[in-house]
Structure 1
Amino acid sequence: MVQTGSPRTSGIGRVLVVVYAILALAATGRSVFQILTKFDTAPIAYVLSAVAAVVYVVATIALVARGPRWYAIAWATIGFELFGVLVVGTLSVVDPVLFPADTVWSFFGRGYLFIPLFLPVLGLLWLYQRRPSKREQIEEGVAGSRR
């Protein structure tokens, strides 16, 4: 069950959640439109945009949800996002023919004002500063074993 109202959703955390939610909506809309209307022109690019959309949706949920498990999911999705931006961004610069159409992560997120490049770095730094205490990890482990 997703519980909201965690300390991760206050201050800068709230800004991160809002930006992730906006990117989730934008990437989802873009990828659905691309896949439905012109999939045959650049299937890899459009599937990568859909992958980015899923990553942004899961990251948004994980940033809002409480507990060490959701913290780990946030860390994994945002880490995957950074990896994706760096790999797709590098490939799109080195060999632009690989991506005949832009993805969310092409050219390091150029189409999104490079937010996809900087956001995961900020997100990971912010998560690191708010990592769960040993007590929270133990409590979740005990609660998880009772299910």
Structure 2
Amino acid sequence: MPDETSGDAGEDKADTTPRATASGPGRVLVAVYAIFALAATSRAGVQIATNFHQAPVAYALSAFSAVVYVVATVALARSGRTWWRLAVAACTVEFVGVLTIGTLSVFDRAAFPEATVWSVYGEGYLFIPLVLPVIGLFWLRRTAPSAGR
């Protein structure tokens, strides 16, 4: 096994690859994101296929949340600086989405005649959509790449 301090790893060392986000507790995080990706994709698919005309905005938001969960799952499961950045972006979009849609759905129920994954801050999913991106961003901070040189 090559020593990381040896000259052979010079180019890799300059890359400052982050620690694997899918290692240790990150495996549980990836699994939860994968479950939400599957749930949101299934929900959006059924909603769009059967009743899209009833609540197109809500169902489009469900589809958007599904895409965010899929991207977050894949990015968290992969290693490397680019995947880490993509995971941060996905978790941030998710958090902003949950806060925005959650707040709008609380104050203007008429705008959301049908629930989305993020309605009322993820109430239909035990508020996990509200907590999950916070945990994800915390984990990503712990696995952040060190400053490049």
Task: Please state how far the C-alpha of 1:61 moved relative to its aligned partner.
Answer: 0.4
1:133 deviates by 1.9
Residue 143 (structure 2) aligns with: 130
Could you list the runs of 5+ residues in structure 2 that have no partner in the other structure?
1-18
Which consecutive segments of 4 or more residues in structure 1 shift more than 4 A? Answer: none
1:94 matched to 2:107? The reply is: yes
Q: How many residues align?
A: 131
User: For 2:65, which of 27, 52, 55 is the aligned residue?
Assistant: 52
Residue pairs, 1:67-86, within 5 angstroms: 67-86=80-99
Could you tell me the TM-score, scaled by structure 1's length? 0.86
Q: Distance in 2 between matches of 1:8 and 1:70?
A: 9
1:116 aligned to 125, 129, 134, which one?
129
Q: CA deviation at 1:121?
A: 0.4
CA RMSD of the aligned region, Å?
1.0
Amino acid paired to 1:104: V
CA contact (8 A) 2:44 2:63 kept: yes
Q: Deviations over 1:69-112 (max 9, x none)?
A: 11000000100000000000000001111100000000000111
Query: Percent identity, aligned pairs only?
Result: 57
2:13 aligns to what?
none
Matched residue, 1:15: 28
The structure with higher relative contact order (CA 8 Å, sep 6+) is: 2
**What TM-score, normalized by structure 2, do the two folds share?**
0.85
> Could you tell me how far apart the structure 1 residues matched to 2:80 and 2:147 are?
12
- State the distance in 2 between where 1:129 and 1:7 align: 10
